[in-house]
């Protein structure tokens, strides 16, 4: 018995010793929460939406005081100046470039906030001092100002700059290559946005932020350069999980020989791709702007103190892959639609496209049917089961309104209950507000065919036992029973 006891005691000791020696999760930055909670103090107040232009940020950049050094390093196809902003005097060279695609502006907002952060003095001064002492940080904000002017992906030549790393036809691509080579930067941050329909794996989480340590060859080999990028992403993922748990993914790492990220990795700069996706109730990406601000600053901190080295590749490899068609804006599940005199039970998926208006500073939504059938493996921002409901075409109102202000004089809720979804208006201009109304403004004489077809934008009335409970207008769902106050407010705003 004593021998058994001693044996058990010995094995228990080994187990305890083993537990004590197993590595704990690497540390995170203590500065993440202060940066996140106090972001409003550092936010560039002149930029409040994601549709800004070169003329909006150029005065901010040109007026940056010490510790920044600012110089123009080239011009876009249309002659807009592209700037190189430098900060710090440390031995490690870091290069960040944003808005290579003109309609991907989230990180540019975050860089403007970082500029303001570095100009303040508060309890985070040790972080500022560390970054300036250990790093020399180089920023190229808004690499594609011509695309930003039109809020489009490509440059004035209609070339995707991120597919110009080999031929270097575009002046913007030439500039980025020249700056990278002149610095021989150790680290590079390739800052982008992705569409709102990616999911983080096959689950109900949208991919709010996605990372990639790009491959530098077809075999997807891992050398020290790429490996360090993977380590740093492991740290950044753990940082963001504190704020958006389950909503971080990684991009497909298939080698793209034309892309800047893949080539910059190949040229010896540890490159991190950051893609900002979407969050519910964040259409202007202001929360994602804050998350970029936190993620970038804490990543720079861990580069400066070499904390990323504590992360092995498993933290990167554990990230779920982006699923490109995982999400929709709206899914109506098990609703019945009519075709050729018969009713069929289907799932209806809708997506909403942004259409530029107002010199691309604004937009309106254009909804459309994105898929029909079994959507059981897909998810939506607005997801509702409508078993027992039939979708029938909405009616066009018999009264023509002179303008949008006249909508405020109508009993819209009563019209919806009658199945009237479309209102002829003599004069109107679409905007984000008008395109989110519970009724659709149409030109006089318009007929609502109501046929559910891929790519169409039907106004639908959803009825059970002949009673209207829901309507779908322009890809938005409204509950006419519970959304009465919301509907009144939307119509009131449209009439002002």
* In contact, 391 and 409? CB cutoff 8 Å: no
Which CATH code of 3.20.20.10, 3.65.10.10, 3.40.630.10, 3.40.30.10 fits the domain covering 32-323? 3.40.630.10
pLDDT per residue as tens digits for the range 385-411: 999 999 999 999 999 999 888 888 899
At 62, list the tokens: 């040109």
- Give CA–CA dist 101/472, Å, rounded: 33
Query: Residue ranges of the domains in the chain?
Result: 32-323, 328-495
Averaged over 97-105, what is the pLDDT? 98
CA distances from 434 to 260, 440, 460 (A): 39, 8, 18
**Which residues fall within 8 angstroms of residue 155, CB to CB, at 6 or more apart?**
76, 77, 102, 144, 146, 147, 161, 170, 172
Q: What is the pLDDT of residue 416?
A: 95
- What is the torsional sign of CA 225, 227, 232, 236? positive
Determine the pLDDT at residue 434: 85
Backbone angles phi, psi at 97, to 5 degrees: -130, 140
Residue 398 to residues 401, 403, 416, 461, Cα–Cα distance (Å): 10, 15, 13, 17
CA distance 148 to 353: 18
For CA atoms 97, 102, 107, 112, give the dihedral sign.
positive
Per-residue pLDDT tens for 12-27? 333 333 333 334 689 8
Q: Which of the residue ranges 2-11, 341-350, 427-436 has the most confident prediction, judged by mean pLDDT?
A: 341-350
pLDDT of residue 5 exceeding 50, the answer is no
What the block records as the tokens of 89 is 């005097």
pLDDT at 496: 67
- State residue 429's pLDDT score: 81
Cα gap 360→347, rounded to integer Å: 34
Q: Per-residue pLDDT for 353 more than 70?
A: yes
Kindly report the number of other CB atoms within 10 A of residue 145's CB atom: 27
Q: Given a cut of 60, is residue 131 above it in pLDDT?
A: yes
Residues 6+ apart with CB under 8 A from 9: none
**Residues 232, 226 contacting (CB under 8 angstroms):** no
Query: Contact, 159 vs 169, CB < 8 A?
Result: yes
- Per residue in 149-162, pLDDT tens? 999 999 999 999 99
Provide the mean pLDDT of the chain.
Answer: 93
- Please check the confidence at residue 146 and state whether its pLDDT lies above 50: yes
Angle formed at CA 464 by CA 460 and CA 466, multiple of 5 degrees: 85
What are the pLDDT digits (tens) for 396-454? 999 999 988 888 889 999 999 999 999 999 988 888 888 999 999 999 988 876 689 99
Determine the Cα–Cα distance for residues 307 and 300; give it in Å rounded to an integer. 10
**Distance (Å, rounded) from C-alpha 99 to C-alpha 97?**
7
Q: Which residue has the tokens 């500022």?
A: 128
pTM: 0.92
Quote the pLDDT of residue 404.
86
Q: Is the pLDDT of residue 335 over 60?
A: yes
Tell me: domain 328-495, CATH 2.30.40.10, correct? yes
Q: What are phi and psi of 425, to 5 degrees?
A: -130, 130
**What is the C-alpha separation between 125 and 113, in angstroms, rounded?**
16
Site of tokens 């500029």 = 115
In the chain, pLDDT over 70 holds for what percent of residues? 94
| CA end-to-end span of the chain | 89
Can you tell me the mean pLDDT for 101-124? 98
């Amino acid at each position: 018995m004593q021998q058994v006891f001693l044996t058990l005691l010995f094995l228990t000791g080994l187990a305890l010793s083993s537990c004590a020696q197993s590595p704990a999760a690497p540390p995170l930055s203590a500065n993440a929460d202060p940066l996140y909670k106090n972001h409003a103090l550092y936010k560039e107040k002149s930029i409040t939406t994601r549709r800004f232009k070169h003329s909006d940020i150029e005065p901010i950049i040109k007026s940056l005081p010490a510790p920044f050094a600012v110089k123009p390093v080239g011009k876009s196809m249309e002659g807009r100046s592209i700037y190189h902003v430098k900060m710090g005097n440390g031995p490690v060279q870091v290069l960040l470039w944003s808005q290579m695609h003109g309609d991907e502006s989230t990180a540019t907002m975050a860089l403007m906030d970082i500029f303001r952060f570095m100009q303040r003095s508060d309890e985070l001064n040790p972080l500022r001092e560390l970054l300036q002492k250990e790093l020399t940080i180089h920023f190229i904000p808004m690499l594609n100002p011509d695309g930003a002017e039109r809020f489009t992906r490509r440059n004035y030549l209609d070339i995707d700059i991120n597919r110009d790393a080999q031929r270097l036809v575009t002046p913007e691509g030439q500039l980025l290559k020249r700056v990278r080579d002149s610095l021989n930067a150790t680290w590079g941050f390739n800052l982008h946005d992705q569409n709102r329909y990616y999911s983080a794996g096959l689950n109900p989480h949208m991919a709010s932020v996605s990372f990639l340590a790009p491959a530098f060859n077809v075999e997807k080999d891992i050398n020290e350069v790429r490996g360090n990028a993977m380590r740093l992403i492991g740290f950044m993922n753990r940082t963001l999980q504190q704020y958006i748990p389950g909503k971080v993914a990684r991009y497909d790492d298939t080698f793209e020989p034309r892309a800047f990220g893949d080539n910059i990795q190949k040229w010896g700069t540890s490159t991190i791709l950051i893609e900002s996706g979407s969050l519910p109730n964040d259409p202007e990406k202001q929360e994602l702007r804050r998350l970029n601000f936190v993620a970038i600053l804490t990543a720079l901190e861990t580069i400066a103190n070499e904390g990323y080295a504590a992360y092995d590749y498993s933290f990167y490899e554990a990230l779920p892959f982006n699923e490109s068609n995982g999400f929709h804006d709206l899914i109506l599940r098990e609703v019945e639609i009519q075709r050729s005199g018969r009713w069929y039970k289907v799932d209806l998926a809708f997506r909403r496209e942004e259409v530029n208006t107002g010199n691309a500073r604004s937009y309106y939504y254009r909804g459309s049917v994105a898929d029909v059938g079994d959507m059981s493996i897909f998810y939506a921002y607005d997801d509702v089961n409508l078993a027992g409901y039939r979708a029938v075409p909405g009616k066009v109102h018999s009264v023509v309104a002179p303008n949008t202000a006249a909508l405020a004089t109508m009993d819209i809720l009563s019209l919806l209950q009658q199945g009237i979804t479309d209102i002829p208006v003599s004069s109107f201009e679409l905007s984000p507000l008008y395109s989110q109304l519970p009724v659709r403004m149409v030109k006089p004489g318009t007929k609502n065919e109501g046929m559910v077809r891929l790519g169409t934008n039907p106004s639908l009335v959803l009825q059970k036992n002949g009673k209207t409970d829901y309507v779908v207008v322009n890809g938005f769902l409204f509950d006419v029973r519970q959304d009465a106050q919301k509907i009144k407010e939307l119509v009131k705003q449209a009439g002002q």
